[in-house]
Amino acid sequence: MDMDWIITPNVAQYKKADWKNFVKKVPNCTLEQAKQIALDDPLITFFFFCNEGMVLEGPVFVEHGAFKPDDAVFFSGEPWYGSAPQCDSYRKSEEPLSHDAYTALQELTKGYQRYHSGNMTHLNTGHDAMQKVALHQTPKACILCCSDSRVPPEIIFDQGLGDLFVVRVAGNFADEDDTASLEYAVQHFDPAPAIIVVMGHERCGAIQAAAISFDEASVCQKDVEDFKKHPKASDNLNNLVRQLKPAIENTKPTFQPETDEKYKQRLDEAVRFNIIANVNSLRDNEVIREQKTFVIGARYDLDLGEIEWFDPLADQGRWIHAYLPTE
């Protein structure tokens, strides 16, 4: 994977810097191997590579020992360089996933695993938690998700009062009002939420309504008949459905679905397109970009209770799923 590296010669992480952002040391490493290690781990933002042996005195030496030629030393966050003629530093040209975003994503994933395994902790849900956040909130993440009653993010991620800033709308799309809510969150909370999750789900009713409105032939006839048994859609509902039209038009099948599985697949492709389109829209938002808030998509499976992450780092040679906790 090619990347433009910011190379700073003759420096290493300063011995008096806060080494809490240390990730790992890999001995007997080539420079190309070190670059690949950094690319494969979204937590790593820079590393220094030892051309000669080096000793950083004080606590660094006590904890990490002497550094030898061909040692690669990896860090997250921002570098604090000090002069070191024995080393060169290599920093990723962009930092798509900050340490705070990585931590928040891990916490969401761990909470989801507790939910999925039936071991929820229900933290921050009692009277003490209510009092703690009564006057001030610092949610760790924002969730833009569907209004569907089967997809409550606080339960799916096993989070409590004050943990999540949730924006819910049928079809999980970011119109002006929803986007404004997310902009408020990243601008006004201190510390700001480090991550926004756009979460759609299997068999989304809003997506189905949009498909019936704009591509009826690709929807199972029974579902169309059931939908038309309801009262005529209001103007407000029609306006909402129009927001989802791009997801339908951009996923029209080249064939006529003939089985229940094919109909389901057609709608699910629209669900996925809608998630990714709204992730991209929020990532391009000026306010969210300025705050360096990480945006990621997720799809919830109603039948299995599983979450599929839409990895925005994959096209950059990095893989979120490889560094998240596993069940």
Q: 68-79 burial, b for 16+ CB within 10 Å, e for fewer?
A: eebbbbbbbbeb
Say if residue 319 is in the same domain as residue 215: yes
Q: Please provide the DSSP assignment of 3-65 as one string.
A: --EEEEEEEEE-TTS-GGGEEEEESS--HHHHHHHHHH-TT--EEEEESS-B--TTHHHHHH-
Q: Are strands 294-300 and 307-310 parallel, antiparallel or unpaired?
A: antiparallel
Say if residue 112 is in the same domain as residue 62: no
Tokens of 252: 């029209």
Say if residue 78 is in the same domain as residue 214: no
Q: Please provide the DSSP assignment of 106-127 as one string.
A: HHHHHHHHHHHHT----TT-SH
92 falls within a domain: no
Say if residue 71 is in the same domain as residue 215: no
Say if residue 120 is in the same domain as residue 246: yes
Say if residue 120 is in the same domain as residue 18: no
Number of structural domains, the chain? 2
Say if residue 22 is in the same domain as residue 46: yes
Say if residue 201 is in the same domain as residue 159: yes
For residue 41, the enclosing domain spans 5-86
Residues 6+ apart with CB under 8 A from 165: 137, 139, 141, 142, 143, 181, 182, 185, 189, 193
207 falls within a domain: yes
The number of residues in the chain equals 327
Domain CATH code at residue 289: 3.40.1050.10
Would the pTM of this model clear 0.75, i.e. be above it? no
Contact 219, 205 (CB under 8 A): no
226 falls within a domain: yes
94 falls within a domain: no
151 falls within a domain: yes
Taking every pair of Cα atoms in the chain, the longest distance, rounded to a whole number of angstroms, is 77
Each residue's pLDDT tens digit in the chain (327 positions)? 445 688 888 888 887 777 888 999 999 999 999 999 988 887 788 999 999 999 888 888 888 889 999 999 999 877 888 888 999 999 886 655 677 888 898 899 999 999 999 999 988 888 888 998 899 999 999 999 999 999 999 999 999 999 999 999 999 999 999 999 999 999 999 999 999 999 999 999 999 999 999 999 888 888 899 999 999 989 999 999 999 999 999 998 877 777 888 888 999 999 999 999 999 899 989 999 999 899 999 999 999 999 988 866 555 445 555 455 655
